[in-house]
Amino acid sequence: MNIVIVGCGRVGATMAGDLDAKGHRVTIVDISTRAFERLPATFGGSAVRGDGTDEDTLRRIGAAEADVFLALTEGDNRNVMAAQLATEALEVKQVVAKINDVVRAKAYAELGIATICRTDLMTHALLGYMGLPVGPTPRIREAAPHTHPDGTSPVAAAIGGSTVGGTTVGALPAVEA
């Protein structure tokens, strides 16, 4: 598989090393070159310094051809933006964003982005370790179906109606400046 990872933190670097060792084609992006020191010495993929929330950068590194796009930086919002660029502008089929805020993770899953939430995973593991009752193991929240029946994407769909439509200009009340 052709995999693009944004963010070379602990999770990003570990995933990149692992996938590379399994023989996949991996490209990892980070705004800091120092972050690449986390990659294993055996890493044979490409590590590119650049902004993963910039469409041009993503295109340059070939993200539009990726089979899987993983947004794994330390910032929830950067991950959201990178993931939405990948989905909406680059039309990558499988996109996952790491979102540690539980509310945001749920909201964006409803908006068409698969999300993984560390807060959920850790809470679940700790409660389980303490022998307390827990729900089903949290997994990646699957994205809601990407398009509505009318063909619009869920995120681009909601636009409110105007109250002045259909009124002739002359019929609008005059407003004093």
Partner 1 sequence: MFVLVVGGGKVGYYLAKELIEAGHEVVLMEKDPGRAAQIADDIGSIVIARDGCEGNHLAEAGCERADVVAAVTGDDEDNLVICQMAKHHFDVPRTIARVNNPKNEALFRHLGVDELISPTRMILGSIEQDIPVHELLHLAGLGGGELEIIEAQLRQGSPAIGRAAREVPMPEGCAIFAVIRDDVAVPVRPDTILTEGDKVIAIGRAECEVALHTQLIGDPDGLQPAGA
Residues engaged in binding partner 1 (CB under 8 A): 53-56, 75-78, 80-81, 84-85, 88-89, 101-104, 107-108, 110-111, 154-160
Burial 18-54 (b: 16+ CB within 10 A, else e): ebbeeeebbbbbbbeeebbebbeeebebebbeeebbe
- Determine which helix (DSSP H) or strand (DSSP E) holds 128, and give its type and residue range: helix 118-129
Coil, helix or strand at residue 47: strand
Taking the complex as a whole, the smallest distance from the CB of residue 23 to partner 1 amounts, in Å, to 33
At residue 83, what are phi and psi to the nearest 5 degrees?
A: -65, -40
Nearer to partner 1, 21 or 157 (CB): 157
Nearer to partner 1, 101 or 140 (CB): 101
Taking the complex as a whole, the smallest distance from the CB of residue 35 to partner 1 amounts, in Å, to 18
Nearer to partner 1, 6 or 15 (CB): 6
Taking the complex as a whole, the smallest distance from the CB of residue 103 to partner 1 amounts, in Å, to 2
Taking the complex as a whole, the smallest distance from the CB of residue 104 to partner 1 amounts, in Å, to 5
Per-residue DSSP letter, 118: H
